[in-house]
Amino acid sequence: MLEQIQAELVDRLLRHIDDGTTDIAHETVEWSIDAYRDADIHQRELDTIFRHSPVIVAHVGQLQSPGDYVADDVYGIPYLVVRQASGEIRGFVNLCRHRGTRLADVGSRKAVAEGFTCPWHGWRYGLSGDLCGIPDQQRGFPDIDTENRGLLPLYTEVRHGFVWLTPESVGTRTVADHLGPLDHEFAAVGMENYTFYEQSRAATRFNWKLGIEAFLETYHFRWLHPAMKKYVFAPDLSLVDRLGDHVRLVAPKKSVLDNRALQQQDRRIREHATIAYVIFPSTVLFLEKRHITVMSMRPAGPESCDVHFLHIVEEDTLGRRAYWDDNIGKFMEAAAEDFGVLELAQDGMGRAGRMLIPGYETVLFGRNEHGLRFFRDSVDAALQARIET
């Protein structure tokens, strides 16, 4: 994160502390609950927003040698990203071109030098996705063009130490273009030098937007996360900025006051806050003092999403496993608290096949929750832009 931006953020925080204020909007707003449960809206979001947006699927530390791969699903599409013999990382649809069985097991594996063999009839594919072996081909498939039966490619790019994937074969824009102003901020962090720590996922029962919104306000800290009292400066103090389609939220820790003793240009926020970047549409990157957590909320339906976590840590601290287990464990405990109430909120909004609650058509975003409004404005603008083009 750029030093000048860090110093500016500290100044804003110190001014708020002196004045007893926080970043705030002019008014509260009401939003329809349809966006959290309507199947047509959900389909439109998939087709217009998610199809063209890159999502983080791995850290380069997981894919160091040829044949190292990570396989999982995004919006129902099974993918596979694999390090090539050439050093490049490429992504494919993880489905056999014979009759569509998933090829590589979900998870990550090291050095699969021999490529991938389908568990059903044994078709074989190389690391570059080419079809290189069909059992009993002469008798069964003498007439197919094997060159055109390789694994289907997915647009894949490495940037800032992460592997980004788009569920389309040819990217409509680069990751740098997608990140816009964040690209510059991320470059200064040096995330490519971090070490992969852990990856996990959870199946949840709430709309992806509800999920993202939980990480765009600190208003709920006091009630839902009492354990945070020890290190959060004050639950009602945060900075929220819209940066292109993305949002940055800064939640200071008590130690932010240490900056008072420093010259303006020497002030830093990185050590003294949790900085959450909502990367449009549904990834949150949490920049902590010595580690980074990436959380991607991948919609599975209008009322459900698969949440994927990826943790990376500063290289020289990897040996402190107990420290990280404790640190990351606390984060995951707080996330579990969030997910608990999100599922209750989704229940309140109604699920498919259930009667709607009369009179309950909207939710409120407070003046102190304006990060939510920034985010929803980006979603609406993206849906609108695609409708108009």
* Phi and psi at residue 345, to the nearest 5°: -65, -40
Confirm or reject binding of residue 121 to ligand FES (CB under 6 A). yes
* Single residue of 13, 93, 118, 379 touching ligand FES by CB under 6 A: 118
Q: How far is the CB of 62 from Fe ion (least distance, A)?
A: 27
Q: Nearest distance from residue 125's CB to ligand FES, in Å?
A: 9
Q: Which stretch binds Fe ion (CB under 5 A): 39-47, 145-153, 333-341, 378-386?
A: 333-341
Q: Long-range pairs for 73-76 at CB < 8 Å and ≥24 separation?
A: 73/106, 73/298, 73/306, 74/165, 74/167, 74/298, 75/46, 75/50, 75/167, 75/298, 75/299, 75/300, 76/300
Given ligand FES, Fe ion, none, residue 48, with its beta carbon under 5 to 8 Å by kind, binds: none
Site residues for ligand FES, window 54-93 (CB under 6 A)? none
E strand map for the chain: 29-32, 55-59, 69-74, 77-83, 89-93, 107-109, 116-117, 124-125, 131-133, 153-159, 162-166, 195-204, 239-243, 246-252, 273-279, 283-287, 291-301, 304-313, 362-365
DSSP string for residues in 93-130: E-B-TTT--B-SPSEEES--TT-EE-TTT--EE-TTS-
| Least distance in angstroms from the C-beta of 138 to ligand FES | 16
84-87 contacts, C-beta under 8 A, 24 or more apart: 84/127, 84/128, 85/127, 85/128
Distances, alpha carbon 217 to alpha carbons 9, 14, 384, in Å: 17, 19, 25
Q: Is 237 in the site for ligand FES (CB under 6 A)?
A: no
**CB within 8 Å of 24: residues ≥ 6 apart:** 367, 368, 370
Binder of ligand FES out of 34, 120, 244, 329 (CB under 6 A): 120
In whole angstroms, how close is the CB of 103 to ligand FES at the nearest point? 7
99 makes contact, choosing from ligand FES, Fe ion, none, with CB < 5 to 8 Å by partner type, with ligand FES
Contacting range for Fe ion; rule: CB under 5 A; set: 71-79, 266-274, 276-284, 338-346: 338-346
Q: Of the ranges 29-37, 119-127, 167-175, 212-220, which one interacts with ligand FES (CB under 6 A)?
A: 119-127
The number of beta carbons lying within 10 Å of the beta carbon of residue 109 is: 14
Q: Which stretch binds Fe ion (CB under 5 A): 106-114, 132-140, 187-195, 334-342?
A: 334-342
| Given 72, 185, 303, 338, the residue binding Fe ion (CB under 5 A) | 338
Q: Which tokens belong to 381?
A: 């603008």
323 binds ligand FES (CB under 6 A): no
**Residue from the set 99, 289, 321, 354 that interacts with ligand FES by CB under 6 A:** 99
Alpha carbon distance 297, 157 (integer Å): 20
Q: Which is nearer to Fe ion, 288 or 338 (CB)?
A: 338
Closest distance between Fe ion and the C-beta of residue 20, in Å? 24
Binder of residue 338, out of Fe ion, ligand FES, none (CB less than 5 to 8 A by kind): Fe ion
Q: Which CB atom, from 74 or from 232, has the smaller least distance to Fe ion?
A: 232
Binding site for ligand FES (CB under 6 A): 96, 98-99, 101, 118, 120-123
Binding site for Fe ion (CB under 5 A): 338
